[in-house]
Chains A and B, each alone.
Chain A
């Protein structure tokens, strides 16, 4: 559906996007992840045809964005970083203008505007001037604009920035439901969001692709083996004596947290993926350590992300 090939954007001596290639399948939600200034917005501006690429090609639904811009742009709904709204227009008037701009047939315009206003819950705001709307509502009007004409591809640049927690949850639900009918590229620097919404994740840094895969696979292949967090009533020395009896412990340490009076929390990592929780439990019972808590330490996308982009930074 979306095919990006060897995309390069050069500003003088600075390469904002460096040889980026990826594909997005129909009906897929791709999370586009990277620290600020990694080239996310630049890439999105090139995919939507707002900016030209120095090198490379973007194909949307079989149409090259630079050779057949009108046909390609017809398939795209774009919500840029800052919602492209006219402050002096009323919500309904603005969306009606967008429906004309996107060449929705004259007879369907009214129904289309009503449909997107209903979907984004802005119907009760339709006669307000956009400059009087809050940031959250402006963002909704911006997304409503992207949905007009029901384009097959949605490009959303940080759609949840500036929303309150309630609106963020609602927005994520909406994006997920849109993902059933649309192909979506969603940029974000919030990892939880990408994890919760996206089918696949593309991580970029300094304009270069670092990895593209499902969130689970990225965590599994790059996160290493998972460990166990345990809370017992033994101090460091006593716990150390006990834990050394287990042969397959690769690493353990006391965690900097305060689980309670006389209690200590430890992280334990194992060299194999065997069922270590049962062995740990039996060990505590044998050495009369009282076990208060035990849970798996899940490496999050966040850890992976910091690890990977951090590595890149130190390499430079």
Chain B
């Protein structure tokens, strides 16, 4: 694991990518810090961090697109996956390398609040809980990016898809507001989602029985719940999409609302996508 970790870290800092990532991230934080704290005179550093999260859109794909796609393209995956290191440890090594590059930038960001403190009262608690959430949010996006990179051998495709997925999570708040709240419509949309899940199951597993069982369980559950209490479905769409909204949870931190469940939410997503990456690689062994 250490070998892979060191190799990836070296790869980021012998090419320009690692430096560019850290530099851009710091530029964005610097610009927003100047705008919010210096020009507009707010004492809350969390505003600067909050505005920067939008730029994960550009920064995360930059780092994650090559992480697995490049290995496949160059056929170097034949070296690492035939070495006596397990797939789990290889993926973890790579993920920790991604996080380390990001952590370098975050550590530098941590210097801002004490510096600001020289010019007035800064709330350290709000600043650092927000920075911690910022770090975990970044880690979540990195895990998603790594998963997407494992699905393809084209770095461009990985970058574009990661960009789209992060864009979707950013737009989700806006979309949720527009969703209808009626229970009949909610059932229809949820049934469509159940159908899509069944199709994805079939594409991934090519197993008719599993697909049919999945579809029956999902549809049966939904229809059953609807018959039992249809009012339960009022506003359920907004709720379901709200769970997926990675970014909306972050918005509360800048007001000083530190929600432990949000930290746990981000950590769970990191674990989930690292796990999915490992499964994607294992699945590839069967197909290729």
Hey, which bits of chain A sit against chain B, CB under 8 A?
11, 45, 48-52, 69-71, 73-74, 76, 78, 80, 82, 84-88, 97-98, 100-103, 145
Contact = CB atoms under 8 A, between A and B. Distances in A.
B76 A84 contact: yes
12 contacts: A49-B81, A50-B82, A50-B285, A51-B286, A51-B288, A69-B84, A70-B84, A78-B82, A84-B77, A86-B11, A88-B14, A102-B84
A84 B75 contact: yes
A50 B81 contact: yes
B84 A88 contact: no
Interface in B1-21: 2-4, 6-7, 11, 14-15
B4 A101 contact: yes
Interface string B31-75: 000000000000000000000000000000000000000000011
Interface of B is mostly: helix
Nearest to A70: B84
B78 A52 contact: no
A51 B285 contact: yes
Contacts of B288: 51
B79 interface: yes
Contact of A80 (B4, B78, B285): B78
Contacts of B285: 50-52
B202 to A, nearest CB: 15
Contact of A74 (B4, B6, B11, B84): B84
Nearest to B288: A51
B80 interface: yes
Contacts, number: 68
Interface in B79-126: 79-86
A37 to B, nearest CB: 15
Contacts of A73: 82-84
B2 A87 contact: no
Given A52-B285, A69-B86, A101 B79 contact: yes
B75 A101 contact: no
A71 B86 CA distance: 11
A73 B285 CA distance: 15
Interface of B: 2-4, 6-7, 11, 14-15, 74-86, 285-288
B76 A76 contact: no
B74 A84 contact: yes
Nearest to B287: A11
Interface-centre pick from B2, B79, B81 (highest chain A CB count, 10 A): B79
Between B11, B74, B82, B85, the greatest number of chain A beta carbons within 10 A of the residue's beta carbon is seen for B82
B74 A87 contact: yes
A101 B3 contact: yes
Contacts of A97: 3, 6-7
B2 A49 contact: no
A257 B187 CA distance: 84
Contacts of B86: 69-70
A82 B75 CA distance: 7
Contact of A98 (B6, B15, B74, B79): B79
A74 B86 CA distance: 11
A254 B183 CA distance: 92
A102 B84 CA distance: 6
The 7 residue pairs across chains A and B that have the minimum distance between CB atoms: A100-B3, A84-B79, A74-B84, A80-B78, A73-B84, A48-B82, A101-B83
A214 B60 CA distance: 56
B82 A88 contact: no
B78 A84 contact: yes
B76 A85 contact: yes
Given A51-B288, A84-B75, A100-B2, A76 B82 contact: yes
Given A70-B85, A85-B74, A97-B3, 19 more contacts: A48-B78, A49-B82, A51-B285, A51-B286, A52-B286, A69-B84, A73-B82, A74-B84, A78-B79, A78-B82, A82-B75, A84-B74, A84-B75, A84-B77, A84-B78, A100-B2, A100-B6, A101-B83, A103-B85
B171 to A, nearest CB: 36
Nearest to A72: B84
Contact of B78 (A50, A70, A71, A88): A50
Contacts of A88: 11, 14-15
Contacts of A11: 287
Contacts of A71: 84
Contacts of B80: 101
Contacts of A98: 79, 83
B15 A145 contact: no
A110 to B, nearest CB: 15
B102 to A, nearest CB: 21
A88 B82 CA distance: 21
A145 B75 CA distance: 14
B27 to A, nearest CB: 26
A166 B242 CA distance: 67
Contacts of A51: 285-286, 288
